[in-house]
Every structure is written in structure tokens, then in C-alpha cells.
Amino acid sequence: MTQTDTDHVLLDLADGVATITLNRPDRRNAMSTAMIERLGELLEQAESDPAVRVVVLTGAGRAFCAGGDVQQFDEDGGEGGGASEVDEEAVAAQIRHQEATVGRIHAYAKPVIASLPGAAAGAGLGLALAADLRIGTPRTVIATAFATVALSGDFGVAWLLDRLVGPAHARELMLLNPRLDAQACSDLGLLTQVVPEDELEAATAQLARRLADGPALALAHIRSNLREVPTQSLTEAMRTEVRRHKETGLTADHVEAARAFVEKRPPVFGR
């Protein structure tokens, strides 16, 4: 097992699973600029590493990620640092940060699981929503949080919510900022699983193992098919699907799966 870390973002790789941990529990893993930049670097590193088959994103302590550091906003005189005009360089930097984190997760070549030990709010909610699957506990809550601090929102939260829960629920969550508990999140489809707090790590590992042991190219193509649906007609989607389907039909994983089916045994992928 290898491990790489900075003070506030950790990367651990074991048996094909890369676990990235936001590690600022004293601030509920609120993200500083340095954390966002490091997270982007580690996401890129994990995606390009052939040893990584699945990524888990989680938070240290009792929260997933509280989003932006509101305490720092207060110290700086607001997110804009007290300026009277929008700083175009800051806009460009923020776009880069969002594309390197939420954008990268959404377009990732490998499955991504968000494991939520507690609250996910603001930009932290964006990270969680960009993942393929989300697993939480009865302590898990989500909130958009932006309107509460007189901000309109970033990190793709509005877009992702619209995709995941539909425009009506997205408007409610963005405008009114209700705190959704784990049951409400599950009812809306925002949590794939809810497990007891002391079982979160094991349940996340089990889910990650299932994906890591799966057929890598097939899972990547499934993600691509789903990601492109909103911009395609049915005819376009089927044309795209069939080429990817044929590509997966050429893989050793497909041959192994067919043989395992005939032999009535579990397939072993990635050999």
C-alpha cells in the first residue's frame, strides 16, 4: 500500500481503490484554495494511474465537506475580499478549480463513490453530487447553503441537482436551502445507501470492491452513455451506444464473462 498526503487532503491507494480524504475536521473539511488545488491534482493522479480502478471521496471526522470556508470569507470581508468589482482573474481561477474537481469527477474515466460521514454543503455538495454513487449514514445531511450566505452558488450544484432530482426539487433546494436528512436524501435518490454510522467505512469498501473487481471498460462506457444522454436524441444515443457496446464485446472481460456464465461461476475480470 502506498500513501501520499498534504496537510488537508490525503490519498491512499490499496488494491485498486484510491481513497481521497478531505482532512480538515476542525473546520468540517471546509475547502481552502490550496485544498481545492490539491484535490484537483490528486483526482488527476488517480485517473491516470492504471492501478486505480475506482475512487472513493470522503471527509475526515464527522462531516464530508462544509463547502467554502465561511469563516475565512468573514475575515476577508466577503468572498470577494471586499472589492467593489468582480475580479476577472479570480473568475478564471474559480472556473479552473471547478473544472479540475467537480468537472473532472463528472467526466471521470473510472467510477467515483462519495462516502458521506456527515454534512455535505455548498461546494462540498457539488463534489458529492458529481460522484456516481453516494453512501451515507443517519448523520448525513445535505444543504445547498449558498442563499444562506447571500451567494448564488458554484461548483455545479444547481446543474447537478437539476439532473438528479429534477427542476422543481432543484429550485426548492437552491432557493429555500432546507437541510435534508439521510431519509429525505434517500427518498430523492441522492443517497444510494444509508448504513449505520459504525458500518460506513466497511460498506464503502464493499461497494468500492464490487466496482474495482468489475469490467473496467464496460463501466467506463456505461458512465459515458449516461453522461451524454441530456445532449442526445434517442437515435443519437443508440448510435453512440452500439459502437461502445461493440468495443466492449472485443474485450477479454467480455469473453471471461460469457465463459463464466456457461460454467456457472463468478467471472474474474482484469486478468
H or E segment to which residue 13 belongs: strand 9-14
Let me know if 75 is exposed, middle or buried by CB neighbors in 10 A (0-12, 13-18, 19+).
exposed
Q: Is 221 a catalytic residue?
A: no
Catalytic residue among 8, 154, 253, 254: 154
> Could you tell me if residue 41 is left (phi over 0), alpha (psi between -120 and 50 degrees) or otherwise beta?
alpha
Residue 55 makes CB contacts below 8 A (sequence gap 6+) with 17, 18, 19, 20, 43, 46, 47, 108, 110, 111, 112, 113
> Could you tell me if residue 69 is left (phi over 0), alpha (psi between -120 and 50 degrees) or otherwise beta?
beta
Radius of gyration of the chain (CA): 19
Q: Is 154 a catalytic residue?
A: yes
Catalytic residue among 8, 69, 97, 221: 97
Q: Cite the active site residues.
A: 97, 154
